[in-house]
Structure 1
Amino acid sequence: MKKKLALSLALMFSLGMTGTVFAASEPDMAAELASLKARMAELEKSMATAKVSKKKDNDNKLSFDGSDYRVRWIKDGADDGDSAFMQRIRLNMSYKVNDKITFNTRWRLLNENEFGKAGSITDSDGKTALQGKDSYFVSDVNMAIKDVLGSTMTIGRFSQAFGTTNYWNSTAIGLIDGVKFDTKIDDVKVTAGYANFGAFATPTAKFTTTSKTTYDPVTKKYTTISTTTQTNTSKPKLEDAVFLNASYPISKATTVNTMWVKEVSGADSNFNVRGLGVNTQLNNDFKLVGDYNVNYGQANDPSGYYISLRWKGAKDDVPGSFGMRLDYRDIKAGNMFSSSGTGVSIPTEGYKGPAISAHYAMDKNIILEGFQTFKTKDADTGEDLPNYSRVQLTVGF
């Protein structure tokens, strides 16, 4: 009995001790599990944050800002005064390759295509080609590289503004193939480069027929063979050229600008354009901008000037903002090196006379504009010319 009692007491004591040990370990295990869950949750959160951060990083690298769609109605006096609706799409894309290099490209689609015209034709050889302006082209494709000789170097096809009014050339269309350097020396902003501007001018087909007559003494007959050859001409045309555009603020309100474009190769050297411009803020609402230049590369040194008095202005990001402009131009024929790059988008050289325009931001990124020239004359002869009217709606995205 004593042995059984002792064994029973020992067993009870052992079980009690074991129960105590297991009872003590349960909170430890719960704490470990809670800690593990917390660490797993933190890890999942970190992974999610890293994923979002990577997506944001990629989003920050890729941008389509600056794209737009435009519909316009114009009446320019051509074709017996007929008017037309036209449309255009521009798609911009830029990608930040790294901290120093950015890749840029821009497609121009439906290039001022008139409504209702598809524009495709089939040639006699069975090939399908685009006709007129219902087409597309790459207006810009380049790399912008920072910290090259203390400048930002752009190489490829790019846009370039000259002067202050955007009449001689703006960043609207591109088509300049070459290299340029943008830098700032104290307060002077300088752009200099070497490029081919030939893409500005579309070649014009010219057909030349030559005939050769031979006599065969055997048959005693004359045979005439005619040969037609096609050459593409587009003169005057600016080809390889050096160029410079610089601006300097002489005061808080006034900035002066100088430009120079000198053709250095090509069949003819038609362009050596030098100009001066000014942009001055008259008060909070009014500013005056103007450009004057001369092309010393052609006979009679054709000159041109454009003056614009601007009141307020419609801003893409400020719905309800508006503005007006009163302009005057006098551009002799042969003065301009580009008639397609102008940011004013009206008939360019060979015209003089005033114009008025109004602009209104209907909503964010939606601009309505009206433009009208009047008392338009030939800049060289003084002959009356048709006026130009335009109403357009531009949607940016």
Structure 2
Amino acid sequence: MKKHKSLRKRYLAATLALAISLSFAGTSYAAPAQKDIDALKKEIAELNMILKVEQRKSQAMEKAKEKKAAWNFDGDARIKYAELGSDSKMLERVRIGVNHDLGKDVRFHATWNVMNDNEFGLTNRRADNLYRDTASYYYGDFDGADNNWLSKAYVEMDKSLLGSNTTTIGRFGQTFGATGFWSDEETNGGIDGIKLTFDDKRITVGFANFGATQDYPTYVAGGTGATYPGGSTAVPYYLSKGLEDAFFINAKMPVSKATTFHGMYLREVGSKTANALKVANTDSKAEEPRLSKHDLHGIGISTKINEKVTFLGDYLQNIAVDGDQDAIYLSLRYKGADIAKPGSFGLNFDYRKVDAPYYTAITANGKQVQGSYSILCGNLLSSDRTLVEDNRKGPVFGFQWAAGHDLLVEGKQSFSTKNTETGASEDDYTSISLSTRF
């Protein structure tokens, strides 16, 4: 850059000298010799050529810097201690993200997720879960305790299809409702499909496979010595792959500066391959006679009570199963921690109530099996700020504190936890975590 400035100064000085010399040529003052004028012209030409070369180099360097800056990497890491009843476990998670502008209105994003965060059955190895009773039949997502997976990889375009604000194609996350207890965009993603936003991003419409990252769980043979969902010991059971292909709509409607109403709708699309069942410990699958177990309708509200207090609430119902399934999540939040602002903090007092999974006995591949269908999509999607479990209800207290630069301490404590179906007391959950970002 200094060399470039020096050349410009020399070029300007030579040009000025030539101009002065030529102006003297037509006056009574002594005219410069022609050879001096020719020498100046030659020097200017050489300087001009060198200057153009340096300009091209400078432009190339600027473009290289811009291209390098366009690939932005970021991430976060979390270490968490969790306890449930007499069980406890250390849990770790690292997320690495990359962002790249493909053009003025087109962006690419990907997140690589490395985790040992298996407390809610993200592995079917029961010994690796706090929730050992549910691990083997609720979430068959991963086989091991330590996992890494591509949780997000999508292209987002502005003002593209059907007059939408944005169009997103690939693997992404999606927030539903006010609390994100069912699914939150910032958690883990893992949804494969397409979504479009309209009306200044107040409305999101899409079609996606919500079970893209899930595996088929292990089939459990019948027998009196086995443990079964729903208390059965007579018949074998399976877990379907859960929610897969579905149309969905999420909307939010501000009614004042302080209050916004939320609504969601999700309808699973039945097919011969959707929700295939594993009825033996082999790769062979059976087809489920009832093709859809998710027809979700939800409403929510978020309102600022004052500058420091916010109330969030969601109600969700699944009408695809007999008797319907309900889920409620309410959250009263005070202030809020910002990891970029050391010393900031937040408190929340929540109430959750989730119905038990729906159980049904069917015949598949000539065998009677028992299916389990949760209203939840799995804890891979739920917001980190919420705590939801099948067939559990009760209050939850949480706090967040920015302990230092890029350091966040969070804690959760459930108490008076009950079985939604029977009302019996259940184990309370405790966790504390330390997160950082980079």
Q: Which TM-score applies when normalising by structure 1?
A: 0.76
Distance in structure 2 (CA, Å) of the matches to 1:363 and 1:26: 72
Cα distance in 1 for partners of 2:35, 2:343 equals: 69
Q: CA offsets, 1:307-358, max 9 Å, x none?
A: 1111111112222211111111111123323332101363522111111111
Aligned to 2:382: 342
1:64 partner SS: strand
Structure 2 residue corresponding to 1:291, chosen from 295, 314, 317:
314
Q: Conserved in 2, the CA contact under 8 Å of 1:339 and 1:349?
A: no
Q: Distance in 2 between matches of 1:38 and 1:363?
A: 55
CA–CA distance in 1 between the matches of 2:398 and 2:340? 20
Partner of 2:205: 192
Alignment of 1:172-251 (within 5 A): 172-184=187-199, 189-199=202-212, 201-206=214-219, 233-235=238-240, 237-251=242-256
Partners in 2 of 1:375 and 1:94 — Cα distance? 43
Q: For 1:138-164, what per-residue CA distance to the aligned partner results, in whole angstroms no more than 9, with x for missing partners?
A: 112222233111112222221111011
1:161 to 172, 175, 179: 175
Question: What number of residue pairs does the alignment pair up?
Answer: 336
Match runs of 1:296-307 below 5 Å: 296-307=319-330
Mapped pair 1:54 → 2:63: yes
Q: Percent identity?
A: 31
- Structure 2: which amino acid aligns with 1:73? Y
Q: Which amino acid aligns with 2:77?
A: Y
Equivalent residue of 1:137, what SS? strand
Q: Read off the aligned partner of 2:180 and give its amino acid letter.
A: N
Which residue in the other structure is 1:309 paired with?
332
Describe how 1:17-36 pairs up with structure 2 within 5 A: 24=33, 28=37, 31=40, 35=44
1:135 aligned residue = 147
Report the TM-score when normalising by structure 2: 0.70
The amino acid of 1:99's aligned partner reads: K
Which residue is 1:279 aligned to?
302
2: CA distance between counterparts of 1:358 and 1:349? 23
2:73 counterpart letter in structure 1: F
State the 1:239 CA deviation.
1.7
Q: CA contact under 8 A between 2:308 and 2:334: conserved in structure 1?
A: yes
User: 2:353, 2:392 within 8 Å by CA — same for their partners in 1?
Assistant: yes
Shift of 1:364: 3.3
Using the TM superposition, give the Cα deviation of residue 59 of structure 1 relative to its aligned residue in structure 2, in angstroms: 3.5
Shift of 1:24: 4.7
1:144 aligned partner: 156
The code of the aligned residue for 1:93 comes to V
- Residue of structure 1 equivalent to 2:409: 368
Q: Please give the residue correspondences for 1:102-121 in structure 2 after superposition, counting only pairs within 5 Å.
A: 102-112=107-117
Aligned to 2:394: 353
State the 1:35 CA deviation: 4.5
Assess if the C-alpha contact under 8 Å between 1:372 and 1:388 holds in 2. yes
Structure 1 counterpart of 2:297, one-letter code: R
Q: Is the 8 A contact 1:322 1:361 kept in 2?
A: yes
Structure 1 pair 27–284 and aligned structure 2 pair: CA distance change class (3 A): farther
The higher radius of gyration belongs to 1
Give the letter aligned to residue 338 of structure 1: G
SS at match of 2:212: helix
Which stretch has the larger CA shift, 383-392 or 39-48? 39-48
Tell me the secondary structure at the aligned position of residue 197 of structure 2: strand
Counterpart of 1:127 in structure 2 is none
Provide the residue aligned with 1:392 in structure 2: 433
Stretches of structure 1 lacking an aligned partner (at least 5 in a row): 1-20, 121-129, 210-230
Higher strand share: 1
Q: Give 3-state SS (helix, strand or coil) of 1:294's partner.
A: strand
Give the distance between the partners of 2:42 and 2:347, measured in 1 at CA: 71
Distance change in 2, residues 1:199/1:137 (3 Å): same
User: Equivalents in 1 of 2:50, 2:78: separation in Å?
Assistant: 51
2:348 is aligned, of 304, 322, 325, to 325
**Structure 2, unpaired ranges of 5+:** 1-29, 126-141, 223-235, 275-287, 358-374
Q: Following the alignment from structure 2 to structure 1, what is the Cα–Cα distance between the partners of residues 55 and 434?
A: 47
Contact 1:271/1:337, CA 8 A, preserved across alignment = no
In the aligned structure 2, how far is the partner of 1:377 from the partner of 1:60? 52
Which residue of the partner structure matches residue 4 of structure 2?
none
Question: Which AA in structure 2 matches 1:132?
Answer: G
Q: Quote the residue 1:71 is aligned against.
A: 79
Paired with 1:45 and 1:319, the residues of 2 have a C-alpha distance of 46
Task: State the distance in 2 between where 1:394 and 1:40 align.
Answer: 56
